[in-house]
Amino acid sequence: MNKYFLTTLFFLFSSNSYAKSYELNFLVDVNSEKYVKEIKNETKALFSSDDKINFKIDICKDSCETKLESYDFSLLQETKKLKNSSNSILTYNHIYSEYDESKLIRASALIIFEYLKENKKNKYLHLENEFLEEKKQEIKSENNIDLKDLFSLAKQNNLQILQSLNSMKLSKLDVDESKTNYKPQIDFYSNLIQIDGDRAKYSSGLYSEGTVDVGVKLTQLIYSDKVIKNIKIKELLEKSNKNGVKAKVDEVFYSVVLTYLNIIKANNHNDIMKIKQNFIKQNLSFAKQRVEIGVQDRSDIYRWESELANVNIELANSIKELDSLKIELANLLQINKNFSFFDYGMESKIFKILNQDSINFISNEKVQELFLDEIIYSHSTLKQLHDLIVAKNEEYKMNKASRYLPTIAFEGNARKIVDRYAQGSNTTRYWDNDEYQAVINLTLPIYEGGLKSVNIEKNEVELLNLKLQYNEIKNLIEKNVEQNYDSLKKSYEKISFSKTAQEFAQKNFELIQDRYKMGNENIISLLDAQNAYIVSRLNENISIIDYLIDLSSIYYFSGNIDILIDINKKDNLEKKILKVTKES
């Protein structure tokens, strides 16, 4: 018993003999006061549990930079880096996120640790939160593009849309051309006629060897079923082409929205890789400090250096992917690739219905039925095919009717001989030099070698094919909408799961990291915790963007992609949704 008691006293005495007390004169401005408690806790975690740190904290309201020399460590919010000081200082421009706050707290604790433990008295660090500062500038930038700008730029610049708009102009001209067949045709003419002299001599004044005449000819179609039907067909084709242009515009908009959302996902992935890079740099710095004070070998440094190289590769690939997507979008919009963008997410009003998450309504079966019903009336591709079917049916009727319906036309001609010369020109005539003629022509087709029968059979086959194509596309659209319903639901669930995973992964990472700093945890456990946290962040990013893509797909396949930018159309849809949900 005495031996055990003596051994215990020895260890207690040895432990107390290594415990140290430190004092720190700490200056903080009013903007940074809220971080003091966390900085103190983080700093204590870097020291042995037996060490004591006495923080003497002063808070200044103005002219803080003039008081720096009187304090061991100062924490100030400054937009620009200060001049060097003989004491330790940390300044920062802005805090935009929890990540920036965590970085500030950890950096402050490390500087205090180096000041007290390693006697590094004049370290100065200025934190410039560059990425989030860029985001703030983007909001103010004229080059910042939101979804409304995307739609506008696509209409103005996209080459496929411009070609479609030109084809619509051609359709309008085809209608105008078909209508000209029912308008009168007036021709002015003049002839110089020369015949042989003998015929003129013995024609009893009917002919002269030389004659000059002028005249005017009028042709007017009175009735033609083919022409009437052709005008109607051209008008239907023009209407169909308008819907085809709308379908192309919707298709380009959909492609643009997906590319834009993927840019956001790639950009967020880039941010997460930066967070991972920063974690590794912090742990590498801490590992180096532990080696310097002789409490750890260099194996952890080598591993952190390897991890840093790997994350740098990941970051480079992430930046490459982001640049590639921006080039793709710039090509679609025919703009410079150096544009800025908004970070749309779950809270963006543009992706909400009645100020709620869209899934809350779209999961309702009545609303799903509404979207499927809307397809027939609002999807441009189906409307285009419907108009083509009607036009082809008119052509079919026209060809059948052409077997028995006549064509009636009027033709009038007025001619005046203004000069006669040579043989027979002076012969006495009992008529004047003016001629008039009017003709009403009726044409009734009887037989054209079986051409009409062939055209009718072709129309029947083409009409059947168009109807089959309509049903095929309708079924395909309905299938896509239903698949996107299911995908939307799963994406929304994954968002919730990923948030939960991220919350616990972050807590686990911070706990393991603190234990690692104290030498109570190995690097493998810390790497596992770090990677679990990063993966949870990546999963959340992917889930949110997948949700927005699925929602955009439902809008596109139901013919409503433009509700993302058309407030009136969105209001109308919301009224319909509200009506069917109340009925259910």
Taking only the tens place, the pLDDT of each residue in 149-207 is: 888 888 888 898 888 888 888 888 989 988 888 899 999 999 999 998 888 888 887 88
DSSP state of 84: P
With a pLDDT cut of 70, the percent of the chain lying above it is: 92
pLDDT of residue 16: 45
Q: How confident is the model at residue 312 (pLDDT cuts 50, 70, 90)?
A: very high
- Confidence check: pLDDT of 255 > 90: yes
Taking a C-beta distance cutoff of 8 angstroms, is the pair 252, 158 a contact? yes
Q: Is-above-0.85 flag for pTM?
A: no
The residue behind tokens 């030498």 is 519
Q: How confident is the model at residue 19 (pLDDT cuts 50, 70, 90)?
A: low
Taking a C-beta distance cutoff of 8 angstroms, is the pair 334, 159 a contact? yes
pLDDT of residue 410: 94
pLDDT of residue 193: 92
Residues 6 or more apart in contact with residue 318 via CB below 8 angstroms: 266, 269, 270, 273
pLDDT of residue 368: 83
With a pLDDT cut of 90, the percent of the chain lying above it is: 27
Instruction: Tabulate helix, strand, coil % of the chain (nearest 5).
Output: 65, 15, 20
pLDDT tens profile 34-88? 888 888 888 887 777 678 888 888 888 877 888 888 888 888 888 777 766 667 8
Residues 6 or more apart in contact with residue 143 via CB below 8 angstroms: 338, 339, 340
Taking a C-beta distance cutoff of 8 angstroms, is the pair 448, 247 a contact? no
pLDDT tens profile 478-501? 888 888 888 999 999 999 999 999
Q: Is 363 exposed, middle or buried (0-12, 13-18, 19+ CB in 10 A)?
A: middle
Residues paired with 223 in a beta bridge: 408
The residue behind tokens 């591709």 is 381
Residue range 10-37: average pLDDT?
A: 71
Taking a C-beta distance cutoff of 8 angstroms, is the pair 169, 161 a contact? no
CA 481 to each of CA 197, 475, 538, 541: distance values in angstroms, whole numbers, following the listed order: 86, 10, 27, 23
Of 420-429, 457-466, 510-519, the range with the highest mean pLDDT is: 457-466
Q: Which two tokens stand for residue 440?
A: 């009403």
Residue range 98-120: average pLDDT?
A: 80
pLDDT of residue 85: 64
CA 445 to each of CA 122, 401, 441, 452: distance values in angstroms, whole numbers, following the listed order: 106, 11, 13, 10
What residue spans of 293-379 are helical by DSSP H? Answer: 299-333, 359-362, 365-378
Residue range 24-33: average pLDDT?
A: 87
- Confidence check: pLDDT of 584 > 80: no
Taking a C-beta distance cutoff of 8 angstroms, is the pair 403, 456 a contact? no
Of 1-5, 104-108, 149-153, 289-293, the one with minimum mean pLDDT is 1-5
What stretch of H or E contains 442?
strand 434-443
2 versus 460: the higher-pLDDT residue is 460
pLDDT of residue 3: 42
Of 16-20, 227-231, 407-411, 541-545, the one with minimum mean pLDDT is 16-20
Residues 6 or more apart in contact with residue 96 via CB below 8 angstroms: 129, 132, 133, 135, 136
pLDDT of residue 441: 92
| Nearest-angstrom CA–CA distance, 112 and 75 | 11
Is the torsion defined by CA of 288, 75, 275, 47 positive or negative?
positive
| Nearest-angstrom CA–CA distance, 329 and 324 | 9
27 versus 47: the higher-pLDDT residue is 27
pLDDT of residue 467: 93
Residue range 295-307: average pLDDT?
A: 84
pLDDT of residue 526: 87
pLDDT tens profile 366-423? 888 888 777 767 788 888 999 999 999 998 999 888 888 899 999 999 999 999 888 8
pLDDT tens profile 260-288? 999 999 999 999 999 889 888 888 888 88
pLDDT of residue 266: 93
